[in-house]
Amino acid sequence: MSRKNAFYAQSGGVTAVINASACAVIETARKYPKKIGKVYAGRNGIIGALREDLIDTSKETRSAIRGLLTTPSGAFGSCRHKLKSLEENRAEYERLIEVFKAHNIGYFFYNGGGDSADTCLKVSELSKTMGYPLQAIHIPKTIDNDLPHTDNCPGFGSVAKYVAISTKEAAMDVKSMCETSTKVFILEVMGRHAGWIAAAAGLAQENKKDAPHIILFPEITFDKKNFLKKVAATVKLNGHCVIVASEGTRYADGTFLADSGTRDAFGHAQLGGLAPTLAQMIKADLGYKFHWAVADYLQRAARHIASKTDVDQAYSVGEMAVEFALKGKNSVMPSIVRGNTKRYKWSIGEVSLNRVANKEKMLPRSFISKDGYGITKRAVEYLQPLIEGEAYPNYRKGLPRYVELKNIGVQKKLRSNFKL
C-alpha cells in the first residue's frame, strides 16, 4: 500500500464530543506514519474540500491535539451543506474527488449523521468509477441519537447527561419555592424529529413523585386538553409541575407547537419557541405562575459536564475508523455495540454504509409510558449507562481550558475555484 494522506471533516451540528473523535483520528493516524501521510481537515467541513481549503493538522502539537479530547464544538469548523443526489449535483462529487486526487488523499473520514453517511457512501462509489479509489469511512456523530445500526451515537450521551442534570437541579429549585412562587417550570430541549433527548430528562426521576412530571415527545401527538388536565393534577398532588418538552412537539395535524402561526401586532410570526407557548397556554387556562428555560446550544456544547461513556465512545469510533481504513475497509462506519451482560459493556462493531445512509431511528413506543408523558423502565435501562461517568476538562482561572487550534491552511494545488 503506497502512503496516502487522509482527509477528515466534521459535518452538521457540532457536539460536546465530536472533537474527541477528531483527536482519535489524528492520534491514531500519527501512529502509522509509514501508511498514512498527513491528516488534512476540511475548514468548515466538507465545503473546505469543495473550496480546496484544507487544514494541515500536522502543524498542531501533540498536546493541542490531545486537548481536543476535552474541547466542545467543531475544532476545524463544521457546516450544514448537504450534497444532493449524484444526478442533481454530480459536479460537487467530482470536485471532491479532484481535490482529493490533487492532495494525494486516499482516506476520507467523514464525521457526522445520516446525511453525511450518505455523502460518504456516494463519494466512495463515484471515486471508483472515476478511477481514483478512496477509502471512505463514516464516523458517527449526532446528539439526536437517530442513526440506525448503532446502539447509540456519540454526542447523545453528553446531551442526555446535561439535560438529566439540568432537569434535576431546576426541579429542586422549583420544588423548594413552590409554596409561594413558581408552580410550573418548562424546559425546552432539542430533538425536532425524535424524542431521545427529551426522554433522557426522565433519568432525573428517582422516585415516582420526582420531576420531570411531564415529558412531551415528538412521537406523541400533543393533546392540549389532556395535557392541561395532567398539569393541573400534578400541581394539585405535588404543589408544582416540571415539564420537559421536545422542540418537535406537535399537534395531530403535524404542525409544531413552536410554529403555531400566531402573529404579533405587526403581523410578524411569533418566534416564541415551544416553552413560552406552553407557558402561555397554562397561564391562560390554569393561572399558575410559571418559569421556562430554553437550553438550545448550551445543551450540545456543555463539555464541562460531558458523559465519560460518551467521550470514550467518541474517541473509539474515531480510532477504529482509522484502523478500519488501514485494514482496507471501505464504505463502512464503526458502530457502538451493546453487550448482552447485565452490567453495561460496549464494543465497536462495523456497519456497511448502505445500511445506515438516510435512515432515522425513532424512540421506540416501548420506551414511552402508556400515558405518553414519561419513560419506561426499558428506556431507563437503555439510557442510564450512556450518561455514566464524568470526564472533566482542566480549568484555569475558573474556566475550562478548551483548545483553539492554529488551523494552518494547506497550499492550493488546483487552479480552479469552485462555486458552491
Catalytic sites, residue numbers: 144
**Considering beta carbons, is residue 211 or 363 the nearer one to its own copies?**
211
Q: Which span (159-167, 316-324, 368-376, 409-417) binds its own copies, by CB under 8 A?
A: 159-167
Is 286 among the residues that bind its own copies (CB under 8 A)?
no
How many angstroms separate the CA atoms of 15 and 307, rounded? 12
> Minimum CB separation from its own copies for residue 361, in Å?
22
User: Which parts of 120-149 interact with its own copies (CB under 8 A)?
Assistant: none
Is 22 among the residues that bind its own copies (CB under 8 A)?
no
Is 104 among the residues that bind its own copies (CB under 8 A)?
no
Is 237 among the residues that bind its own copies (CB under 8 A)?
no
How many angstroms separate the CA atoms of 356 and 358, rounded? 6
Is 243 among the residues that bind its own copies (CB under 8 A)?
no
Binding its own copies (rule: CB under 8 A), the pick from 97, 117, 164, 322 is 164
> Minimum CB separation from its own copies for residue 311, in Å?
13
Is 103 among the residues that bind its own copies (CB under 8 A)?
no
How many angstroms separate the CA atoms of 257 and 251, rounded? 7
* Dihedral sign from CA coordinates of 62, 65, 67, 70: negative
Which triple of cell numbers denotes residue 268? Answer: 410578524
User: Which parts of 305-334 interact with its own copies (CB under 8 A)?
Assistant: 305, 307
Is 251 among the residues that bind its own copies (CB under 8 A)?
no
Smallest Cα–Cα separation from 76: which of 115, 108, 47, 113?
A: 47
Is 75 among the residues that bind its own copies (CB under 8 A)?
yes
Judged by CB under 8 A, how many residues of this single chain contact its own copies?
82
Is 263 among the residues that bind its own copies (CB under 8 A)?
yes
Binding its own copies (rule: CB under 8 A), the pick from 56, 173, 259, 323 is 173
User: Which parts of 349-388 interact with its own copies (CB under 8 A)?
Assistant: 384, 386-388
Is 174 among the residues that bind its own copies (CB under 8 A)?
yes
Cα–Cα distances in angstroms (integers) from residue 144 to residues 192, 219, 299, 412, in the given order: 9, 14, 12, 36
Q: Are strands 54-56 and 105-112 parallel, antiparallel or unpaired?
A: unpaired
> Minimum CB separation from its own copies for residue 308, in Å?
9
Binding its own copies (rule: CB under 8 A), the pick from 192, 365, 371, 392 is 392
Given a contact cutoff of 8 angstroms between Cβ atoms, the answer to whether 151 and 344 are in contact is no
Name the helix (H) or strand (E) containing 291.
Answer: strand 290-294
How many angstroms separate the CA atoms of 215 and 373, rounded? 5
How many angstroms separate the CA atoms of 78 and 360, rounded? 21
Looking at the DSSP bridge assignments, the partners of residue 137 are 109, 332
Is 285 among the residues that bind its own copies (CB under 8 A)?
no
Is 176 among the residues that bind its own copies (CB under 8 A)?
yes
Is 73 among the residues that bind its own copies (CB under 8 A)?
yes
Is 181 among the residues that bind its own copies (CB under 8 A)?
yes
Smallest Cα–Cα separation from 123: which of 143, 109, 113?
A: 109
Binding its own copies (rule: CB under 8 A), the pick from 37, 74, 154, 155 is 74
User: Which parts of 192-221 interact with its own copies (CB under 8 A)?
Assistant: 203-204
Is 165 among the residues that bind its own copies (CB under 8 A)?
yes
What is the full DSSP assignment across 339-368? Answer: -SSSS--EEEEEEEHHHHTT---PPPGGGB
For the chain, what's the residue count? 420
Given a contact cutoff of 8 angstroms between Cβ atoms, the answer to whether 53 and 67 are in contact is no
